[in-house]
Structure 1
Amino acid sequence: MKRLPSFNDFSPGIIGDVRRPLAILDQLAPDMTAVVAEWDKTFFASAGNKRASTNIPATLTSLGLMSRSPLALTDAGKAILGAPDRIEAARQLVRHIVEVANGMAIVDAVRSLNARGEMLTKATLKRELEVNGIEGLSNATTDHTTLLNWMIEAGLFVRSGRANPQPDESAMKSVLGISASERSSFAELPLSQQIFLQILRRVAEGGSAIPAKQVIDECLREHRQRFDEDQVRAKVIRPLADAGWIEAPTTGAPAGRGGKSGIIIPSAKLMGVPIEQVLPDFDQVIPPDLRAKIDLPRAEVKQLLESSQTYDRGLGLELLALKMILDIGLEPRAFRLRSRDTAYAEVDLTAEGRNLLFSRWNFQCKCVGTRVSLGDVAKEVGLAIYSKAHVVAVVTTSEFSSEAINYARQITAETHLQFLLVNGPAVISYLEKGAGFLLDYVAANAAGVMTQKRGQPVIPQGAL
């Protein structure tokens, strides 16, 4: 489970210089009563409540800066206390959290919100973190916003007025070893390229040239199913060279002739990134060409769907499906059929949710000028039964035939399946008004499904 550390009563606004509570602990330990009294006096005007006795020690423990038995600073706490000034102390705190407590998730979440032009609030930041796999964030928590505020205190982000905080690329590179743009660039690479870079980064000492065969052989030995051996140079090495991650000479003696010949030189860009940041994301299910555009604002997705170019409409359709899945609060699990496989007219993918109970959703999105027919909907019923899905979502930029709507109602009333049908006007409203419209639409659909299923027997005959 990926979680963020707790920050109860430990924000920059309350604590100020992060060295202050650490200094108090270091000076008065192991007398916990004296430590708590001094924290209470320094930060809470001697209020005598649990903010000093419970919240601060819980936070320091959660951050890994304090041990309780014996009562003392950990090595990480001592390093932060020894910082020369409050900014450097905040930077060491943030670096520590990124290394041990999923702190980079904040960087990724803020980048995504900024890329979409979406206002950063407590709620939108929480939701973005949950999409990225962070769990355990209650509706009331401020752990995520407090961590962001410590990053702002450390200079990793700059905030101007009410606008979203923007990353300071040089400060982030200095503190974390990787900038926000480098982080995004690596995350958007196909998995095979991520694996190649990780292995190259591991075996290349000081940026030295490595025989291409050595790296390719190790890739194939550890992850053969991820590589097409005959296409490694075309699909992995050349794209990474074009993106500036490696150097792969194409002329002269070092270039070689075969697919495994020649040398690979890790670039300064690759060698400048900490090796722990070059970790392949083996859980990725969104194709890299879509990941690179997943944060495209909805208004631009609408433009793609209205384009005269079939490729643009197909891309818009895939992004529409992904954005709807994420806005509903689901996790994309697999593409069954991409738009490029259907002349850019439709896309099929599966998503899963765990809101109270597990659910599996099959999505079919169609960008066509004709109405969605009964046959189109009937095909989805068969796929849903085969894949053990619970919800069939059919989205179209046009309309549904009356036969398709009636069929969906009949299947809903007579089986365990339920349908979410989203027509063209609803798609436009969603892209113009945002996630709130979609969530209201889904909630209204759920109410309708409940009504349709009320005729189903709750207790099978003969069960009592």
Structure 2
Amino acid sequence: MPNTLPFGTQFSPNQIELPQLLQLIIDNEGDDTAPLITAIVDTFFSTNAVEQQRNMAGNCKNSLVSYGILENGGGVRITAFGRQLHEIADETEQCEALVKHILKNLNGMILIDVLRGMHRNGERISKETVVEALNSRGFDLSRTSNNVPVMKLWLNKAGVLRGWRIDEHKLSELTELSEGEFRLLRTLRPEQYYFLRALCNTASENYQRAADIRQLATATYGITFVESNFSQSVIRPLTDRGLIEIQRATGGHGARTPLVKLTELTKRDIVLPLLQQLEGIIDREVIEYLQKPLEELRTDIDATDSYLKGLALEAFAIRIMRIIGLDFIQTRLKGNETAGAEVDVLFDSSRLLYTRWQVQCKNTHRVSLDQVAKEVGLSHVLKTNAIVIMTTGVVSEKAREYATQIMKTMNLCIIMVEGSDIDAIIAEPTKILEIFNRESLNAKHIKVFE
């Protein structure tokens, strides 16, 4: 499923009446698009400026395609879902059916999850901040698009949202899935996720060999499992979460391979579409940490588990770079773009002029010259203007001397954020401005004309 929300311009419940719009589609089914556009203009946009009317109706028609009510391509062809909507006589039930479709098939549950995290963190919620949060999960939404506000209005009309606030009872009623059950699915590790998705794809209620499902997942999604640790890392966690049932084989070929089947939870219609929505974010565990308060992140940064420390520090970097208005691009960039190397987070900004920032997070007591040199080399590939070295420890003097030489000779700014700076930002987030001003002033002094 693409990481986006459907186009919704001129399709909000503030602009159209769904029963009337569906009837217009039925009345013009099989015809060219032009008569439908005219009918939409006459019904909903006749009071708008004449030169805008047909463009607005065209946007509405395109939104109907994006929301899965009209088929893509020429002419007027209603989808099976659109026909099902039209056959619902009660307007409230019709609206709820559309919203169920949004939640199930159009990334509506990802929007809900983003809002949950923002509420937990006490973040200011607006169209712009929601778009930014979605983009941090791999979406590619313009800040000026109507995708988010139109979906919000439909969720409001059905009672799932009240403003930006979630009505969890209504949401659970429409999806048959509680917040806790959703979280069970969202926090799966990649190997668990793809195994469960492959099992759901079989649509079988019978026990099946776990080894066969594992092979299906590998063939379908290219996921590699560590067979020696398969039961511990995949079967047991899924069983403990109540997502699969397990039965030990008693004899015959492959008797040592356990048998698995779906539980009552994972048999629900919502589960497979929800797993498809989660595909774009399931291997980006940093998302879980983005939803934590800064104080909790600081605790996790000091955890004994180095992997968790890294995730927490990376999430902290994303959170604080947003404070200074940078736009998140992506996290954990690697592969061909970086010649096999890795950079933790990339940001950019188009204010006044375009700049690109790379942020490297280090869970080390001391950042060495070699580590800074690696980031400088990477900046040529990534075409960045600024490098932020963020560490829980300190930056060595040799590394600082090297950074000074680079800034004297190259169009690069290298910013050092040490452990004491992290503590200051945790205590007072706006301290990041003071810290970055300090580093900027340092760069200015280094880059003086001789």
* TM-score (norm: length of structure 2): 0.76
The alpha carbon displacement at 1:417 in A equals 4.9
Number of matched pairs:
419
C-alpha spacing 1:14/1:32, structure 2 compared with 1 (3 Å): closer
The match for 2:230 among 227, 232, 235 is 232
CA contact (8 A) 1:361 1:393 kept: yes
Measured against aligned partners, the alpha-carbon deviations of 1:219-275 in whole angstroms (never above 9, x if no partner) come to 45556762111111111101110111112246xx65999895232121111111442
Contact 1:412/1:449 (<8 A) preserved: yes
AA aligned opposite 1:364: C
The 8 Å contact of residues 359 and 387 in structure 2, kept in 1 or not, is answered as yes
Flag the 1:153–1:319 CA change in 2: closer, same or farther, 3 A: same
The partner residue of 1:311 within 281, 304, 311 is 304
The code of the aligned residue for 1:430 comes to: I
Task: Please give the secondary structure, in 2, of the residue aligned with 1:421.
Answer: strand
Alpha-carbon distance, 1:196 to partner? 1.0
TM-score, normalised with respect to structure 1: 0.74
From 207, 210, 230, the counterpart of 1:209: 207
Match 2:315 to one of 306, 310, 322: 322
CA displacement, residues 54-76 of structure 1 (integer Å, 9 cap, x when unaligned):
22431332231457954575554
Matched residue type, 1:351:
V
Paired residues of 2:24 and 2:36 also in contact (CA < 8 A): no
Determine whether 1:187 maps to 2:186.
Answer: yes
The offset of 1:378, in angstroms, is 0.5
* 1:267 equivalent among 241, 249, 263: 263
Q: Which residue of 2 aligns with 1:128?
A: 133
Identify unmatched segments of 5+ residues in structure 2. Answer: 30-34, 336-341
Distance in 1 between residues matched to 2:223 and 2:214, nearest whole Å: 13
Change (3 A) 1:55 1:431: farther
Does the alignment pair 1:21 with 2:26? no
The equivalences for 1:214-293 within 5 A come to: 214-219=212-217, 226-249=224-247, 260-272=256-268, 273-279=270-276, 281=279, 285-287=283-285, 291-293=287-289
Instruction: Establish whether residue 431 from structure 1 lines up as the match of residue 436 from structure 2.
Output: no
The Cα shift of 1:422 comes to: 1.5
Q: In the alignment, what sits opposite 2:371? A: 380
* Cα displacement string for residues 135-171 of structure 1 (whole angstroms, at most 9, x for unaligned residues): 2413x33431221221122233345xxxx412525x4
Q: 1:31 to 1:366 in 2, by over 3 A?
A: closer
The separation in 2 between residues aligned to 1:20 and 1:440, in whole angstroms, is 57
1:157 matched to 2:161? The reply is yes
Please point out which of 417, 421, 425 is paired with 1:422: 417
1:127 is displaced (CA, Å) by 0.6
Could you say what secondary structure the match of 2:131 adopts? helix
Give me the whole-angstrom Cα distance separating, in 2, the residues matched to 1:362 and 1:33: 52
The residue identity in structure 1 corresponding to 2:362 is C
Equivalent residues of 1:216, 1:260 under 8 A apart: no
- Give me the whole-angstrom Cα distance separating, in 2, the residues matched to 1:430 and 1:259: 57
Contact 2:289 2:315 in 1 (8 A): no
Residues 187, 177 of structure 1: alpha-carbon distance in 2 compared, 3 angstrom cutoff: same
- Specify which structure has the bigger relative contact order, considering alpha-carbon pairs within 8 angstroms and separated by 6 or more residues: 2
2:186 is matched by which residue type in structure 1? A
Compared with structure 1, are the counterparts of its residues 193 and 73 closer, same or farther at alpha carbon in structure 2 (3 Å cutoff)?
A: closer
Corresponding residue SS for 1:63: helix
Contact 2:9/2:63 (<8 A) preserved: no
Return the alpha-carbon distance in structure 1 between the equivalents of residues 117 and 52 of structure 2: 34
Q: 1:423 to 1:132 in 2, by over 3 A?
A: same
The CA distance in 2 between the partners of 1:268 and 1:87, in whole Å, is 29
The CA distance in 2 between the partners of 1:49 and 1:314, in whole Å, is 60
The answer on whether the counterparts of 2:425 and 2:432 sit within 8 Å (CA) in structure 1 is yes
Task: Supply the AA of the counterpart residue of 2:273.
Answer: E
Percent of aligned pairs sharing the same letter: 19
Query: What 5-or-longer segments of structure 1 have no aligned partner?
Result: 337-347, 457-464
Contact 2:369 2:396 in 1 (8 A): no
1:282-330 CA-to-partner distances (Å, cap 9, x unmatched) read 775534xx5544411113223455x7xx528984664132231353424
Q: 1:18 to 1:455 in 2, by over 3 A?
A: farther
